[in-house]
Amino acid sequence: MNGSYLGPSYSEKEIMLMNKKSKAIYQHFTQTDALYAMVAEKLAAGNVVGWFQGRMEFGPRALGNRSILGDARNPEMQKKLNLKIKYREGFRPFAPSVLAEKSNEYFDLETDSPYMLLVAPVRKERHKPLPSNFNQMELMDRLYCLRSDIQSVTHLDYSARIQSVHADTNERYYKLIKKFEDLTGYALLVNTSFNVRGEPIVCTPHDAYRCFMRTEMDYLVINDFVYSKTEQDDWQNREKWKVAFKPD
């Protein structure tokens, strides 16, 4: 199977109909390189981006077409994604999406993992020194100790569940990560499914915009359309959009 992108996709006309119905304010890019550059800059600045592209994934993983993305270097990103986007406990882990040919620069993995199914150690040269009393610390204190230079995808045991991204199966996602590497020197991103806890992964443009507005996500990208949260007319109308989620 050459990728799992077997679900529906949506045309520019269908996205424009959603924009009109939702009264969404957007920027439309005609040059994809400019789109990738802008999104990479937003990610590097610590923003959370909903990334909706092409055909939806089929199966148990979001693989870059219905994903929420963040900067793996950011030590606060795991907590931010859990508490402000996914509405679940702050300790829940996240997976990295890494350019396939750069995977072994970050992880002890000598094979591809395109479906985010393989777990491997983070390379030792990326580890950070731990406090001498680390093993005696409370779990949550240990969780937020800086463990590596890709903190937000490093589990407590220094492992990560890896998605290797290949240009021939997901060109747009590959090019975004490559642009992020050009900007930061890091060829990977945090990737989690585009949904809040208890709901299915978004499928349609309307699903994506609704999830974007109901969370503290900063930007949304639907194909070549980009939406900034603070530019939406009613982004502060929390009573309209906010839904209460209690942690499991």
pLDDT, tens digit, 9 for 90 and up, residues 171-224: 999 999 999 999 999 999 999 999 988 889 999 999 999 999 999 999 999 999
Burial 142-154 (b: 16+ CB within 10 A, else e): bbeeebbbbbbbb
- pLDDT computed for residue 225 by the predictor: 98
SS3 25: coil
Q: Which residue has the higher pLDDT, 13 or 236?
A: 13
- The secondary structure element, H or E, covering residue 193 is strand 188-193
Phi and psi angles of residue 162, each rounded to the nearest 5 degrees, phi first: -105, 140
Q: Which two tokens stand for residue 52?
A: 């909706």
Distance CA 128, CA 125 (A): 8
The label of the residue with tokens 């569940």 reads 161
CB distance 72 to 106 below 8 Å: no
Domain 45-231 is found in CATH 3.90.870.20: yes
Closest CA to 98 of 90, 107, 89: 107
Residue-level pLDDT at 240 = 60
What is the H or E stretch that residue 22 is in? helix 12-22
Phi then psi for 142, rounded to 5 degrees?
-65, -40
Please report the pLDDT score of residue 125 as a whole number: 97
CB contact at 8 A, 76 and 70? no
Is the predicted pLDDT of residue 91 greater than 80, yes or no?
A: no
Q: Indicate the helix (H) or strand (E) that contains 150.
A: none
**Using 50, 70 and 90 to split pLDDT, how confident is the model at 235?**
confident
pLDDT > 80? residue 238: no
Q: If pLDDT is split at 50, 70 and 90, which confidence band does 3 have?
A: confident
pLDDT(1) > 80: no
pLDDT of residue 159 exceeding 90, the answer is yes
| pLDDT (average), residues 225-233 | 96
Alpha-carbon gap, residue 156 to 160, rounded angstroms:
9
The mean predicted confidence, pLDDT, of the chain is 93
pLDDT at 248: 54
pLDDT score at 90: 75
Pairing of strands 66-70, 49-52: antiparallel
Measure the CA–CA gap between 82 and 205, rounded to whole angstroms: 23
Between 92 and 22, where is the model more confident? 22
